[in-house]
Structure 1
């Protein structure tokens, strides 16, 4: 699986392949599978459709590992437009951001400056009206090389009383300690397994160990102490076994279903997402928008080879 992931990540980061795919008519159906629209207006319209089914959204502007100030500004401006548009539509104020898309490749000081701009925008719009759920700028967690700095950024935002949340990848060996620190301060945490091809020295790479590490992280995040400290967990997984396990731990420790949520990717297991809503769970979808759809979408294929079947069906349908 690690070889498959590395291959997909290389495809995602290849400028030549990215330009070719964006120009390909055959791949247009594939782009709409995982992407909620080309701009903020289309993404908000998609989010409104989801809200009509009882599903919340976290908007994410496509563009990662950005190494030019011009593109960083474009990324930040797109999210700054999306935030008030979500509020105007009566949607929960929740946007996700990769540190590498708002400046960390160039400098962490630039990244912090832009993260503060975005978090302040969320806070200011939230103060202007009544919005459901917790407003948040969710910091995505990328490869292990930026783990420490991303956590430091989260704590800096919270020290300034800004509505920040952070993603933790359970497969990293350090993650249980990070979760305990976050639980102690009542954090809003999105827990995911982790999708990067990391070294065994820093991450669990065998499937059974990755599943065990996720369950151990659930035990910390859904403990009675975490509930008492005001932790708000978001379970970022499509694995029904992990969701069932979290539900069991949550119920045993006194968590109500409105005290946590399940977050999935737009376009992945939509039928299951709706069944969870019918069962009374809070469900949020990670909803990307923008024109740079190839790197994000091919990384979804990298997470499971099963998604490759959809790529082939899309190409066959377009060719016909």
Structure 2
């Protein structure tokens, strides 16, 4: 599995392959599985459709590892238009952002200035929804800087959440501090091909690490501190375990949520809504859809079947 992930990551980071695939009308069918549109209006329409069956959305403008100031400026324009559109539509003003798409490849000062602008735009939007700028977590080389970025926005009293990867050896210590501060924490297993010295690598060990992190996030102390757990998982076993922890420790359904990727296990997503489990879908949009989509294949080889069907026109 680790080798498979590495192969998909290499494909995702190849500009040549990305250009070839994204110019193919045939392969554009592949994007429709995991991407909510090519622009802001299409993404807002998708988010509105999700709202219609009681699923919320976190919008993400596609693009990462960007070191071109012009491209970063375009990303900021798209995200700010997205924030305004969500507010005007009466939806949760909830977007996700990678530090490497808004300036960290140039400097963390540039990145910090840009995320402050975005977080202030979130704070300015009206409405009673769960409005937040969610910081995505990238590979382990930037974990410390991303957590520091979160701390800076939190200290400025801006609406911010942070993603934490359960498989990293450092995560339990990070969670201790986040719980103490009453953070909104999106917990994911971790999808990067990290070294064994940095993260656990076996599937069983990853599951164990995820359960351990959930115990911390659903603890009585976390509830008292105002922690808001967001479980980024498609694993029904983990969701069932979270439901058990929530019930056991007195968490109400509106005090935590599950976040899944658009296009992954859609039938199960509707099942969660029927069970009255708060559901949010990670909704990517934009023109650079291939790197994101091929990583979904890397995370689950079963998604390769959809790619093949798309290439044959039967997606």
Provide runs of 4+ in structure 1 moved above 6 Å: none
Are the counterparts in 2 of residues 26 and 318 from structure 1 also a CA contact under 8 Å?
no
Alpha-carbon separation, structure 2, partners of 1:130 and 1:101: 27
TM-score scaled by length of structure 2 = 0.99
Structure 2 residue aligned with 1:40? 40
Structure 1 residue aligned with 2:94? 94
Alpha-carbon separation, structure 2, partners of 1:225 and 1:178: 15
Alignment equivalent of 2:298, drawn from 302, 307, 316 = 302
Structure 1 residue aligned with 2:179? 183
Are the counterparts in 2 of residues 189 and 232 from structure 1 also a CA contact under 8 Å?
yes
Structure 2 residue aligned with 1:130? 127
1:107 aligns to 2:103 (yes or no): no
Shift of 1:91: 0.3
Alignment equivalent of 1:172, drawn from 161, 168, 187 = 168
Alpha-carbon separation, structure 2, partners of 1:318 and 1:275: 26
Are the counterparts in 1 of residues 122 and 132 from structure 2 also a CA contact under 8 Å?
yes
1:207 aligns to 2:210 (yes or no): no
Alpha-carbon separation, structure 1, partners of 2:139 and 2:304: 23
Are the counterparts in 1 of residues 87 and 127 from structure 2 also a CA contact under 8 Å?
no
Gaps of 5+ in 1: none
Structure 1 residue aligned with 2:193? 197
Superimposed CA distance per residue, residues 187-246 of structure 1 (whole angstroms, 9 cap, x where no aligned partner)? 000000000000000101000000000000000001010000000010000000111111
Q: Secondary structure at the match of 1:81?
A: helix
TM-score scaled by length of structure 1 = 0.97
Aligned residues: 315
Superimposed CA distance per residue, residues 162-185 of structure 1 (whole angstroms, 9 cap, x where no aligned partner)? 001000000000001111110000
Are the counterparts in 2 of residues 36 and 43 from structure 1 also a CA contact under 8 Å?
yes
1:263 aligns to 2:224 (yes or no): no
Are the counterparts in 2 of residues 87 and 131 from structure 1 also a CA contact under 8 Å?
no
Alpha-carbon separation, structure 1, partners of 2:213 and 2:183: 14
Alignment equivalent of 2:230, drawn from 210, 234, 240 = 234
Structure 1 residue aligned with 2:16? 16
